[in-house]
Structure 1
Amino acid sequence: MLTYWAFRLAGLVVPWVPPRLGYWLAGLGGSLAYRLDRRSARVVRSNLRRVLGPGATRVEIGRVAEQVFRNQAKNYFDLFRVPHLTLEQVERWVQVQGWERLQQAKAPGKGVIIVSCHFGNIDVVGQILAARREPIVTLAERLQPPQLFDYVVGLRRSKGLLFLPVDDMGSLKAMVRALRRNELVALAADRDVTNSGTPFPFFGEVATLPDGHVTLALRTGATIVMTFSRRLPGDTFAAYVEPPLELTRTGDFSRDLTAGMAQVVAMMEKFLRHYPDQWVYFQPMWPVADV
């Protein structure tokens, strides 16, 4: 319950904190957390070792890892700040590149699956979609205690996103219904919350990744569009909407799933290589190695 009350307190205080000061304090808190939370820091450095490659030095990996912590702390500041932004302020906060690609993906009328990862601030794309009146359904991992889950979901859906529990079977039916209405479903491609993913090469090593986004697209005919948000200097965001993926549908589901996963993974690798400090992922993607 301590975490719950800390979140409630932050929800009361953050709206009164000037953004520039708030982000500065959040960055400072992130640097402090990097030094104090040794387990998480070790996990992040281990993940980044694969992303940065064998040529990266310990100093370089440590510098990027600390920035990951700083960015994640700023994401928490965003969480409490966004509910108090107007839709017009959200539009000014996020620069969207490739919006027309989303409209192109909706043209067939079978819905769009927005696929992203824990990059930048994963909620930002959803917030800008909601700001532009695009109905969107996404999944949320349950938090404990339940009061914390309800509170965090309430903050995240303030602009109109519909969050469903990832472990509720009714969530799948709700996503299918949304796609049939030619609406949007948003799913993460780097976190296997339900432990039902598939082993797949990722930065040259096998990792267990979720495949529900590709499976859902193959089963429903929906289009996959990958999106990423990147925190910019000044703590605004660039949101990138990539061209719709062209999934193969040969009738061999296993082969089509593998081909679709390869496209998704390649796009994730591209963005993570360019901006490794934006990957705010704190779970072991591969076996943890000391760095």
Structure 2
Amino acid sequence: MSSLWKSLRHQLEWLGVSLLAWLIPRLPRPMAVQFGRAAGALAAHLDFPGRRVALSNLEAVFGDRFSPAERARITRESYQQFTGTMIDLFWNPRLNAENYRRLIEFQGWDEFCRTIGPTGPCIIAACHYGNFEWFSLAAGYAGLVATIVSQEFKNPKLDSIFQRLREQSGHRFVQREGAIVKLYRNLRRGGTAA
């Protein structure tokens, strides 16, 4: 890819993401949810290569268990789940330590606090399943503040936007390079790593 096109593409991506980061927190919650669902359905329709891989994977794993229409529905809903999670990440500025529990429900949190506690040194491995962005945010507001390793974007202009959104409940995000040393030091100080 030519460097001019790459530079232009990165700038356009930054503008689009910046617009979303400005617009989404201004939407009422039901409208943000609907926007995420619509964006996911559109992405599932327009992302030909990704949709083809998803449909092929479903067929490989489940064989004839699902009809082609059911595989298409599962694929669309997967896209909608992911875009909904990303829209929720952009909606993060509307959440704070006082109101997050009205929208985010923890299951097993009391057991976690009783056995490990949000203050112990611990390592957390989180699956990117469901709304993983809000789990991280809510955990921070609930007192489980962590040093978290994050994947850098191919477009470095986007890193600071996502880092700001993800750190709002007190987490500290570190890039993958040199992360193991930072996580180790944090654990030695009694912190949490994810």
Tell me if both proteins adopt one fold, taking TM over 0.5 as the criterion.
Answer: yes
Q: Hey, what's the Cα distance between the residues in 1 that align with 2:50 and 2:81?
A: 14
Kindly report which structure 2 residues correspond to 1:273-288, keeping only aligned pairs within 5 A, or say none: none
Deviation at 1:31, TM superposition (A): 0.7
1:105 maps to 116
Report if aligned partners of 1:14, 1:80 keep a CA contact under 8 Å in 2: yes
2:186 alignment partner AA: A
1:31 maps to 41
Report if aligned partners of 2:55, 2:71 keep a CA contact under 8 Å in 1: yes
Deviation at 1:131, TM superposition (A): 0.3
| SS of residue in 2 equivalent to 1:87 | coil
| SS of residue in 2 equivalent to 1:138 | strand
Report if aligned partners of 1:137, 1:184 keep a CA contact under 8 Å in 2: yes
1:9-51 superposed Cα distances (whole Å, 9 cap, x missing partner):
1111112211111211221121111111111112222333455
2:7 maps to none
1:245 maps to none
Report if aligned partners of 2:147, 2:174 keep a CA contact under 8 Å in 1: yes
Q: Hey, what's the Cα distance between the residues in 2 that align with 1:158 and 1:17?
A: 19
1:126-170 superposed Cα distances (whole Å, 9 cap, x missing partner):
11111012221111111133221111111111111111112x12x
Structure 1 stretches of 4+ with a deviation exceeding 4 A read: 50-54
Report if aligned partners of 1:30, 1:70 keep a CA contact under 8 Å in 2: yes
1:182 maps to 190
1:91 maps to 101
Q: Hey, what's the Cα distance between the residues in 1 that align with 2:50 and 2:155?
A: 21
1:173 alignment partner AA: V
Number of aligned residues? 183
Percent identity between the two aligned chains: 25
Q: Hey, what's the Cα distance between the residues in 2 that align with 1:10 and 1:30?
A: 15
Deviation at 1:72, TM superposition (A): 1.4
> Which segments of 5 or more consecutive residues in structure 1 lack a partner in the other structure?
187-291
2:163 maps to 153
Kindly report which structure 2 residues correspond to 1:213-228, keeping only aligned pairs within 5 A, or say none: none
Deviation at 1:94, TM superposition (A): 1.2
Q: Hey, what's the Cα distance between the residues in 2 that align with 1:62 and 1:124?
A: 27
Kindly indicate whether residue 83 of structure 2 is the aligned counterpart of residue 73 of structure 1.
yes
Deviation at 1:82, TM superposition (A): 0.7
Deviation at 1:93, TM superposition (A): 1.3
Report if aligned partners of 2:147, 2:186 keep a CA contact under 8 Å in 1: yes
Q: Hey, what's the Cα distance between the residues in 1 that align with 2:122 and 2:60?
A: 31
Higher helix share: 2
2:175 maps to 165
Kindly report which structure 2 residues correspond to 1:27-66, keeping only aligned pairs within 5 A, or say none: 27-49=37-59, 52=62, 54-66=64-76
* Larger relative contact order, structure 1 or 2 (CA cutoff 8 Å, min sep 6): 1
1:47 alignment partner AA: N
1:99-128 superposed Cα distances (whole Å, 9 cap, x missing partner):
133231359x5x222112221122222111
Report if aligned partners of 1:26, 1:73 keep a CA contact under 8 Å in 2: yes
Q: Hey, what's the Cα distance between the residues in 2 that align with 1:7 and 1:115?
A: 27
1:172 alignment partner AA: I
Give the TM-score normalised by the residue count of structure 2.
0.85
Q: Hey, what's the Cα distance between the residues in 1 that align with 2:106 and 2:80?
A: 23
> Which segments of 5 or more consecutive residues in structure 2 lack a partner in the other structure?
1-10
Gap change, CA 1:80 and 1:100, over 3 Å in 2: same
